[in-house]
Amino acid sequence: MTDHLALGKALNLGLRHALEQDDKVVLMGEDIGRLGGVFRVTDGLQKDFGPDRVRDTPLAESAIVGTAVGLAMRGYRPVIEIQFDGFVFVAFDQIVNHVARLHFRSRGSVRMPIVIRIPYGGGIGAVEHHSESPETFFAHVPGLRVVTCGTSQDAYSLIRHAIASDDPVVFLEPKRRYWLNGQVDTSRTDDSWSSSVLRSSPESTATLVTYGPLVPTAIETAEVLAAGGVEIDVIDLRTLSPLDLEPVFESVRTTGRLVVAHEAPGNLGLGAEVAARVAEECFYSLESPILRVTGYDIPYPPSRIEHDYLPDVDRIIDAIERAEAF
């Protein structure tokens, strides 16, 4: 079935289909039941699947993750919601020391099919601790898959794929894009953990790599440049750990230039890892230094000025032009 859905609605549909398909799937989180979640991503699910499978929990993020570990050991597939990105740090021990390691610690005899959904990133005018981009913390941890989505189709396909996976997945939802509309083909549930080439041309003179909330920004950037006669390749990483960089290497070998954009601070961000690996693999193809367009290395700012902090079309075009001019 193909439909036009907002990204948040696509996630809701993906969760609904997963609940329908596998009775071991259970949802837990703060306010996800009667309220339907503060962003309504779980809207209507408790009504249809009951309070045991869509559980409003006490207000304790560490316990939400910690009890998911026990449920997973009992054979369940918990899909848990951390209400906002900044709240996940309360649960850091359970994610890093337990969720990520139990498969390793047990030589594979214990599996942790847990999905940790986190609305993340800025751009909604929120107060502190509601606009964080924590992906690097989790991408650094062996044993976790870190996934994000930038389109309605990926929201649907990747949440289904994450729930079906026997590995733990930190699933980052770009909260300012929950209302972004897009096509959703619900037959597409079996995506691999691959990055996605959104735009590619033999004429391209630069590769723009991004993920999550900047995917629409990257597409817009490419359209603006194309209107001026400049073609670029655009790649959405989708899976932030382990990375799938083959399509990036392939693109850079053609374009010779790479710009990586993300909302998170640049220092030791995903862009650094992408840049290092591209330098290792594509050194002789590079025509210019690899450039990053990121959040600044300051704590997330007050919301009245967050749009000066967040990478936008102008800053990305500036970086591409600097790469071209090198």
Contact letters for other proteins, residues 12-51 (x by CB under 8 A): --------------x-------------------------
* Piece of the chain touching other proteins by CB under 8 A; list 2-10, 69-77, 127-135, 206-214: 69-77
d(CA 211, CA 294): 12
Count the helix, strand and coil residues of the chain and give each as a percent rounded to the nearest 5: 40, 20, 40
In 3-state terms, what secondary structure has residue 226? helix
Residue 237 binds other proteins, judged by CB under 8 A: no
Minimum CB distance to other proteins, residue 287 (Å): 26
| Mask for 82-101, x = binds other proteins (CB under 8 A) | -----------xx--xx--x
**Tokens found for residue 107:** 């030589």
Cα(258)–Cα(260) distance, integer angstroms? 7
Contact 80, 68 (CB under 8 A): yes
Interactions with other proteins, residue window 241-300 (CB under 8 A): 242-244
Least distance between other proteins and beta carbon 132 (Å): 21
Instruction: Name the minimum Å distance from CB 221 to other proteins.
Output: 28
Q: CA–CA distance from 210 to each of 67, 220, 238, 275 (Å)?
A: 33, 13, 8, 12
C-beta closer to other proteins: residue 66 or 301: 66
Instruction: Read off the tokens for 53.
Output: 């499978």
Please identify, using beta-carbon distances, which residue of 71 and 230 lies nearer to other proteins: 71
Query: Which of 1, 58, 229, 325 forms a contact with other proteins (CB under 8 A)?
Result: 58
Q: In what helix (H) or strand (E) does residue 58 lie, and over which residues does it extend?
A: none
Catalytic residue among 98, 103, 130, 262: 130
Should residue 204 be labelled a site residue for other proteins when binding is judged by CB under 8 A?
A: no
Is 130 one of the catalytic residues?
yes
Longest dimension (CA), the chain: 60
Q: Write out the DSSP string of 114-145.
A: -EEEEEE-S-S---TTSS---HHHHHTSTT-E
Site size with other proteins, rule: CB under 8 A: 44
One residue of 4, 34, 105, 129 binding other proteins per CB under 8 A:
105
One character per residue 122-161, x = contact with other proteins (rule: CB under 8 A): --------------------xx-x----------------
Q: Write down the least CB distance from residue 61 to other proteins, Å.
A: 9
H-assigned helices in the chain: 7-21, 45-49, 61-73, 92-93, 102-105, 135-139, 152-164, 215-227, 246-255, 270-282, 306-309, 313-325
- CB 43 within 8 Å of CB 205: no
Q: Does 109 bind other proteins (CB under 8 A)?
A: yes
Binding site for other proteins (CB under 8 A): 26, 52, 57-58, 60, 62-63, 65-76, 78, 93-94, 97-98, 101, 103-111, 142-143, 145, 165-167, 193, 242-244
Q: Which residues are catalytic?
A: 130
